Amino acid sequence: MENGSKCTKFFVLLMLTGLLTFSLFMVFPHDVAAQDSDNDGVPDLTENDLALKYRPCMHFASGELFFPTNVSYHIDNSVLKLKLDGNNSLLIDPSPTIASIASYPTETYFLDNKLGGFQEIKDDYALKMSSLGYIIYARVTADAGNFIVQYWFFYAYNNAALNKHEGDWEMIEIILDATETPTYAVYSQHFTGEKAFWNDVEKLDQTHPRVYAGLGSHADYFRPYQGKIGLENDVLGTEVTLLPTELQIVLLGERGAGNHPASQDWLEYGGRWGEWVNLADTWRGAAGPKGPGHDENSEKWFSPTSWGMSLFLVNSTWFMLCWFMFYFLYIFITILAAVTIFKVWRIWKRKKQGKLGFKAALRTNARIGIVLGIL
């Protein structure tokens, strides 16, 4: 009887413990684990883990003046204007804020930096760069059966050789399959970009992709010797490196009311992040860019898988061609030096054998070949 009583008490205690555990799981841990504050189908904990895991390592060339920063830096230094016809505009807000610009979702508005032009913005950013730090915006979402990890970079100015404008947006994304295994990396380059298989991407500590940003243009590349093939002819380098731990992540929510905190209401702003003087500036590359999810950045935001897969695939063959183009001058000089040395050696050898006959050769048609050879 005593053993039966003990068994009964044990089972009662076990049932009570189970009910209590189940209740706590339903009320607390379950909610925390499944919390999806931006309503994109990916739990917040997963988003945070993936954003940290694939945080990039960024390389910049010598002479780079602008680095990824907070959008507030630009907003605080700007006035909001409405673009009219021709080169006319109307002042809408002399002191815009993150909250106020969210009320302007259309493309006809622009944030005009009130500091002045390139020189004034450069000087101001240089003074504040250390206090601003290096900020990148991470977005993790689901699309077409994949997990997408995006990193958006905002720069205060784009001072490339062919296009100069206030504000600059670039981004990269990692495409992971349903098992969270990375398959592709996609890097933006102005209006287009490149994709590469994950195994072809240079990485720091296996998971942090190396990004080589173009000098002034901030277009993103997979190798430091790229950028020579194409219209922009970007200059890359490794003189300045921002390690993943130096990049402060701001985890973005999704667009739409209730899908992101108030501090990210700037996501709803549909205008340009920089000056817009003439209507023609849009195709001359002299107008500020649109932000994430708007106009040229719309497909990157709403269809990141199809956008990435539509881009040019770069691989070892392409990288070899880029390497050749990057070192073409050095290769040419080396070949020229080798040919010159060989020619001089042959001339010396023939002279030593008494077979040079230079003066006699000049009296024949061979003089043309001799002159070309010397050149």
pLDDT tens figures, 252-282: 999 999 999 999 999 999 999 999 977 656 6
Q: Which of 32-41, 46-55, 91-100, 195-204 has the lowest mean pLDDT?
A: 32-41
The answer to whether position 16 is within a domain reads: no
Q: What is the pLDDT of residues 205-231, one digit of tens each?
A: 999 999 999 999 999 999 999 988 765
Cα–Cα distance measured from residue 70 to residue 133, given in angstroms and rounded to the nearest whole number? 8
The answer to whether position 214 is within a domain reads: yes
The answer to whether position 8 is within a domain reads: no
Nearest to 47 by CA among 58, 37, 62: 37
Residues 197, 344, single domain; the answer is no
The answer to whether position 289 is within a domain reads: yes
Residues 179, 263, single domain; the answer is yes
Residues 350, 282, single domain; the answer is no
Cα–Cα distance measured from residue 279 to residue 272, given in angstroms and rounded to the nearest whole number? 12
The answer to whether position 199 is within a domain reads: yes
Residues 268, 333, single domain; the answer is no
Nearest to 50 by CA among 172, 139, 171, 137: 139
Domain that holds residue 98: 44-315
Q: What is the pLDDT of residues 64-75, one digit of tens each?
A: 999 999 999 999
CB 156 within 8 A of CB 69: yes
Residues 224, 309, single domain; the answer is yes
Nearest to 234 by CA among 8, 7, 24, 60: 60
The answer to whether position 18 is within a domain reads: no
Q: 97, exposed or middle or buried, with CB in 10 Å at 0-12, 13-18, 19+?
A: middle
Give the DSSP H/E element, type plus range, for residue 73. helix 71-76
Q: Is the pLDDT of residue 287 over 60?
A: yes
DSSP string, 160-189: -SS-EEEEEEEEEEEEE-TTS-EEEEEEEE
Please count the other Cβ atoms lying within 10 Å of the Cβ belonging to residue 179.
6
Please count the other Cβ atoms lying within 10 Å of the Cβ belonging to residue 340.
12
Average pLDDT, the chain: 87
Residues 155, 299, single domain; the answer is yes
> In this structure, what DSSP letter does residue 59 have?
E
CB 201 within 8 A of CB 222: yes
The answer to whether position 22 is within a domain reads: no
Residues 118, 206, single domain; the answer is yes
Q: Which of 16-25, 112-121, 173-182, 324-333 has the lowest mean pLDDT?
A: 16-25
Cα–Cα distance measured from residue 76 to residue 54, given in angstroms and rounded to the nearest whole number? 30
Q: Among 315, 347, 365, give the residue marking a domain's end.
A: 315
Residues 72, 108, single domain; the answer is yes
Residues 337, 192, single domain; the answer is no
CA distances from 96 to 10, 29, 103, 143, 267 (A): 67, 41, 11, 33, 14
pTM of the full predicted structure? 0.82
Residues 270, 332, single domain; the answer is no
Identify the three-state secondary structure at position 355: coil
Total tally of structural domains belonging to the chain:
2
Nearest to 182 by CA among 167, 203, 164: 203
Q: Is the pLDDT of residue 97 over 60?
A: yes
Residues 63, 193, single domain; the answer is yes
Q: Among 315, 344, 366, give the residue marking a domain's end.
A: 315
Q: Among 289, 315, 341, give the residue marking a domain's end.
A: 315
Q: Is the pLDDT of residue 198 over 90?
A: yes
Residues 187, 262, single domain; the answer is yes
The answer to whether position 255 is within a domain reads: yes
